[in-house]
Amino acid sequence: MAAPASGGAFEGIASENEQMWGFTRPQLIALGLMLVGIVIAPSVLYPIFLMKVLCFALFACAFNLLIGYVGLLSFGHAAYFGMGGYLAGYAAKSWGLTPEACIIVGGLAGMVLGWVIGSLAIRRQGIYFAMITLAMAQMVYFFCVQAPFTGGEDGIQAIPRGNLFGVIDLRSDMTMYWLVAAVFVIGFLFIHRVINSPFGQVMTAIRENEPRATSLGYRTDDYKLMAFVISAALSGVAGATKSLVFGIATLTDVFWTMSGEVVLMSLVGGLGTLFGPVAGAAIIVSMQNYLAEFGAWVTVIQGVIFVLCVLAFRRGVVGEIGRILKVRL
């Protein structure tokens, strides 16, 4: 069976028939450009900045899986991102695990936490779902403030990057960059695979018409929970990778503003598009970096961009480009 083109916002566009690994031709071109960009960028831009972009891009892609393809707005994704970061940091520093094991620990942390919070939140829809996830994430935040292993206000500092597979020294930023790029690309392709699987089609069906999907015989709560857990696990992976890159895991990553930021990234890039969250993450992180001299004004500028997006570019940057080129991205 052929895989579908992703995204539901492009009803005016004819189905493209040429497909490869579930990508349409324009998506393949965009994927190629993105991979070339990932390879070339570190020779032009600061690798630490790029690693930050890639970590947030993976985080935003994981979040987009939930809102763009299942239609669930979670407002507590910071919990999985932050907890993934904390546990990976703790595993690296106190247990001396290798980086790849730390990233897996972070993913598992997100997965377990996502399963617990998800199975409670999934029973409600719409704004109630968002509020329950927010409340749960705030509980996780206050847990992190109190719990001894997180270091409270100080966070976990001086997390060693360690040696990949016990062999490759990651202290050099360039070596670390390739690891982060690999984690991102694997995560990105995994999300793409999920979206284009029969499971992903059921997710789309649930987003469009949940009662109908139920009356065809799907227990929709199971599918929503599964999507939630996948999204939370990948958020955990993103958080774990970020704490290894910066050598620090702090309360910022579990605070609700982080949940807001990932919503912003997905919106600016384009909800329900494959590449939107990547573009959104790049835009938001660049703004935070290059506008840092404006201090607190960054938040105001972000707010203005958010308002502009909602008013003028409702499909997000990638969504609008796709509309102009008449392709799905």
Partner 1 sequence: MSEPLLQVRGLEAWYGESHVLHGVNIDINAGEVVTLLGRNGAGKTSTLRAIMGLTGKRAGSVKFQGKELIAARPDVIARAGIAYCPEERGIFASLNVGENLVLPPEVLLGGLNVPEIHQMFPNLLERARSQGTKLSGGEQQMLAIGRILRTGAKLLLLDEPSEGLAPVIVQQIGATIRALKQRGFTVLLVEQNFRFAQTVADRHYVMDHGTVVDNVPNHELAGAMDRLHQYLGV
Site for partner 1, rule CB under 8 A: 1-2, 4, 7-8, 11, 14-15, 17, 198, 201-202, 204-205, 208-209, 211-212, 214-220
Shortest spacing between CB 185 and partner 1, in angstroms: 26
**For residue 35, which phi and psi values (nearest 5 degrees)?**
-65, -40
Shortest spacing between CB 312 and partner 1, in angstroms: 24
- Based on CB atoms, which residue is closest to partner 1, 190 or 218? 218
Q: Which residue has the tokens 């930050």?
A: 52
Shortest spacing between CB 212 and partner 1, in angstroms: 4
- Based on CB atoms, which residue is closest to partner 1, 12 or 148? 12
Q: Are 106 and 251 in contact (CB under 8 A)?
A: no
- Based on CB atoms, which residue is closest to partner 1, 210 or 261? 210
Per-residue DSSP letters for 247-272? T-B-GGGTSHHHHHHHHHHHHHH-TT
Tokens of 276: 């939107």
Shortest spacing between CB 206 and partner 1, in angstroms: 9
Distances (CA, A) of 278 to 35, 144, 177, 268, 327: 12, 28, 17, 10, 17
State how far the Cα of 201 lies from the Cα of 213, in Å rounded to an integer: 11
Eight-state DSSP code of residue 151: T
Shortest spacing between CB 310 and partner 1, in angstroms: 22
Q: Which amino acid is at 98?
A: T
- Based on CB atoms, which residue is closest to partner 1, 71 or 110? 71
Give the SS3 label for residue 20. Answer: strand
Could you tell me which residues are beta bridge partners of residue 19? 24
State how far the Cα of 140 lies from the Cα of 75, in Å rounded to an integer: 13
Distances (CA, A) of 20 to 86, 186, 191, 192: 38, 17, 16, 12
- Based on CB atoms, which residue is closest to partner 1, 138 or 196? 196
- Based on CB atoms, which residue is closest to partner 1, 224 or 242? 224
- Based on CB atoms, which residue is closest to partner 1, 195 or 232? 195
State how far the Cα of 114 lies from the Cα of 118, in Å rounded to an integer: 5
Contacts of 202 (CB under 8 A, 6+ apart): 213, 218, 223
Shortest spacing between CB 69 and partner 1, in angstroms: 10
- Based on CB atoms, which residue is closest to partner 1, 27 or 259? 27
Shortest spacing between CB 227 and partner 1, in angstroms: 16
State how far the Cα of 102 lies from the Cα of 96, in Å rounded to an integer: 9
